[in-house]
Structure 1
Amino acid sequence: MAGRDPLAPLSTLVDVVFALIVTFALFSAVVTGLHLFGKADGAQLFSFSDHVCVEAESFMASVGEDDAPAEPLAKPGSSLQTSGTMFCTQNPSWAMQWAASVGSILSMMLLIGACLLARRVIRAARRDGIFTAVPAKLTRTLGWFLIAMAFIAPVGTDIGNGIFMASAAAPVLELAWTMEVTSIGGPDWTPLILGICALTFSRVMYRGAALQDDVALTI
């Protein structure tokens, strides 16, 4: 029992998540490439599809039958759903598909980065010990990365959605791609909480490393 690796459960979890993400990323790249070159028209991955819809957080229009607008609210090939907040486009351009997918792609890339950092923390802790300077520093870096991830991913999603909706909306609406970024939205709470926990644990690791140095000096 004493010889068991205390980091084994966490290491296994990180390795499994990392393997799944990498596999999905490779699969996504292949399917997306086939779709963009017209080889997988029926496939739908992220927002790479023949019919893409994006819901606005900062815009709402009245599109009911009783108060139909005098001018179309969407460009030809696009439509504004009855909720008044969702723009849909049939056969969107590559640029519109990329814009609608940027949030999901960015989140996946950031998650890969977080897994790589976590693997470095585990390797350093196994090599030097948990309560040493190197793994403590890497854990702090991981914490700040996760906190940044909590804000970068939502902002990226808002920018992509804003670009898509500005491309789908009719000129009469005068929608700019920045409209979603200026809307009030919260961070992604999961990486934010994990990042705060990582920063807290890094301080504990630094304190443990300092105590070990004090003990070593007294012996």
Structure 2
Amino acid sequence: MKSRKSFVVSGVFALLALILIILVKNVDVAVVPETGKPMGFYSINTAFHNIFGINIIWYKITEIFGILALLVCAVFALIGLLQLIKRKSITEVDPVIIKLGCLYAVVIALYALFEKVIINYRPIIMPDATEAEASFPSSHTMLICVVMASTIMVIGNYIKDEKLLKLLKICCAVIMVVTVVGRLICGVHWLTDILGGILISSALLFLFKGIADKDLR
């Protein structure tokens, strides 16, 4: 029953993400003068963007957290690799590790997809680029939310000390919140980019929870 509810909630978030994509492509579309690229929800996005402007410090902070998220992925990959070497069969690797790897793979696939199927462009042309890059959904938001939230779900399988476990879960939650807020106010994404990243992440996380529920402690 719990798994079924997770799948339903996942489907709701996926539908909301799809609706947002359709709306962004069709509602209040106008050209951004700074980039020369079209952008949906122009009035809302530009109004919000103008409140905070460009904040490079927050951009760098969120970049660091993004690297940290990749390191977390590497740790779980290493756990899986060591289990594979020791147990000599992929079927003997913890199911939660396999499913976590699949979750990461889906995030990578979605990142590649939205680099080709461009929904929105960044508000600015980045210093190392010649033109505005794709910005929907915020890949940093998606990465951090998926990695940190899924870590909160699975870390109890590997950390038995209750105090350490609680501390690590709090750290993951703080990193997730700070990164999403930081990405929102640093000025390299539109409001709808962040919202899209949150909706897609939520869909993936509830799907993962439904699939891996029996393996979680």
Q: Normalising to structure 2: TM-score of the pair? A: 0.30
> Highest relative contact order (Cα 8 Å, sep 6+), 1 or 2?
2
Q: Which has the larger radius of gyration?
A: 1
Structure ranking higher in helix proportion? 2
